[in-house]
Amino acid sequence: MSELRLFNTLTRDKDLFIPLHPGEVKMYSCGPTVYNHPHIGNLRTFLWSDVLRRYLEFRGLRVTQIMNITDVEDKIIRNANAAGQDIHTYTAPYIEAFHTALRELRVRPADSYPRATEYIPQMLALVKTLDERGHTYVADGSTYFRVSTLPGYGKLSKIELDASTEYGRIESDEYEKESARDFVLWKAKKEGEPSWQAAIGEGRPGWHLECSAMSMDLLGETFDIHTGAVDLIFPHHENEIAQSEGATGKPFVRFWIHGEHLNIDQQKMSKSLGNIYTLAEIKEMNYEPLALRYALLSVPHRTKLNFTTQSLDDAKSALARIDSFLLRVKELSASGPHGAKESDGHAGELIGRFLIDFEAAMDDDLNTAGALGALFTLIRDGNIAMDAGRISAADAEGIHAALMKVDPVLDIFPKRDENLDAEIEELIAQRNAARKARNFAESDRIRDLLLSKDILLEDTPGGTRWRKK
């Protein structure tokens, strides 16, 4: 197996990935702010983080992945107030919608989803430590992090601060790199806002604090991987580093991995711009979530992706090709030793090349486009070889096994419902019987019935095959 290299924002280089503790990887992914349904840009980020985890597991590593849920924050409070609800009531359906979207997109659940409101004691403990180490001050009842107290502040986003300068402070959780300021750790209570009692005064946490508190609590003071999209590099992740390293004096995260945005008309898809699509909308447009999964994976995470319906149409046809190849291979492998010629070694070459190319692509900073390219080379060459009768039943079984090997990483193969499969097979058998009896009205009726269930039939010399439309 070759070496896995991942682009690390901290070094701006593709670094060799070796986990801190042999055999196990600790990974933290910034999760959703639950004031709305996730859009497919958010989903892009959650998807590649899961694919990274899946690939680490493919390489034999044990992975613990934590993803936070930001359930108290400026926009949540504003919207909950406008709806006349408390933040728990307001965020509950969006938390549910987030989990549903991930499930539909075949993103596997993280090991846990801590919520900001459940981590107030750990956040306050962190502020206390920062205070003891001289990194904080209080102004107007809020507690701030003084960035000039931390040599190295700015190392992730590559901004340079001058320790002798006094920086203004900022209460807002989001701001640009150009206006680097002392940032808020704990916001003083305001009328109409949820708040918690604390020795440093009643209030609520700033946004950045939760990720430092949760990740160190659940994964340790130094851990392997932290993920998010590029918009989080500054200020969120820079400030997480400040809070964590300011408190522990130890390196916080070894690999910072950031994905590019999903754009629409070359602009970032974002709730604030209103140019968003949700997964539900994609489904209303008659695309399966799997088509979106494929479209998102067809571009590596560090490449900008401009979303179009054309990309979903392309995904649909790619998935159909994969589906019929899988069926053909399965059929051939089930045909037993008499079904085809002896193996001439060609299949072994195809399989070997496929697995090497797949791993080489994924090892190169998770190049999912290259991995899919390897798959389509196998499909093309495999089909040519099957046409030429060069693939034995045992060869086909080998090809199938190779596809199943990469399946846990890509997870783009059709998942067939066994009961539905049996029902379809039964109808196909009835149709074949009708055709044999030259009862074409009946065989057409069955074909149409299947079509109404979105099942397409293909009559081949090897028998009737079916696939979902």
Residue 381 token pair: 């060459």
> For ligand AMP, which is the closer residue by CB, 122 or 270?
270
Q: Which does 276 bind (CB under 5 to 8 A by kind): Zn ion, ligand AMP, none?
A: none
Least Å distance, CB 30 to ligand AMP, is 5
The alpha carbon of 455 is separated from its chain's Cα centroid by a whole number of angstroms, namely 30
Contact by Cβ (8 Å): 390, 313: no
Residue 312 is a binding residue for Zn ion (CB under 5 A): no
Q: Which does 235 bind (CB under 5 to 8 A by kind): ligand AMP, Zn ion, none?
A: none
Residue 149 token pair: 């107290």
Residue 241 is a binding residue for Zn ion (CB under 5 A): no
| Sequence-distant (≥ 6) Cβ neighbours of residue 101 within 8 angstroms | 37, 38, 43, 278, 279
Q: Which does 311 bind (CB under 5 to 8 A by kind): ligand AMP, Zn ion, none?
A: none
Q: Which residues pair with 259 in a beta bridge?
A: 229
State the Cα–Cα distance between residues 366 and 196, nearest whole angstrom: 42
Cis ω for the linkage preceding 235 (within 30 of 0):
yes
State the Cα–Cα distance between residues 290 and 42, nearest whole angstrom: 16
Q: Which does 41 bind (CB under 5 to 8 A by kind): ligand AMP, Zn ion, none?
A: ligand AMP
Q: Which does 331 bind (CB under 5 to 8 A by kind): ligand AMP, Zn ion, none?
A: none
Least Å distance, CB 161 to ligand AMP, is 24
Residue 123 is a binding residue for Zn ion (CB under 5 A): no
Supply the Cα-derived Rg of the chain in whole angstroms.
27
Residue 334 token pair: 């089930």
> For Zn ion, which is the closer residue by CB, 35 or 307?
35
Contact by Cβ (8 Å): 286, 173: no
Q: Which does 424 bind (CB under 5 to 8 A by kind): Zn ion, ligand AMP, none?
A: none
Residue 211 is a binding residue for Zn ion (CB under 5 A): yes
Where does this chain bind ligand AMP (CB under 6 A)?
Answer: 30, 32-33, 41-42, 44-45, 228-229, 231-232, 261-262, 268-270
> For Zn ion, which is the closer residue by CB, 30 or 126?
30
DSSP result, 66-124: EE-BB-SSHHHHHHHHHHT--HHHHHHHHHHHHHHHHHHTTPPPPSB--BGGG-HHHHH
Residue 279 is a binding residue for Zn ion (CB under 5 A): no
Least Å distance, CB 244 to Zn ion, is 12
Which residue in the set 4, 6, 10, 30 belongs to the binding site for Zn ion (CB under 5 A)? 30
Binding site for Zn ion (CB under 5 A): 30, 211
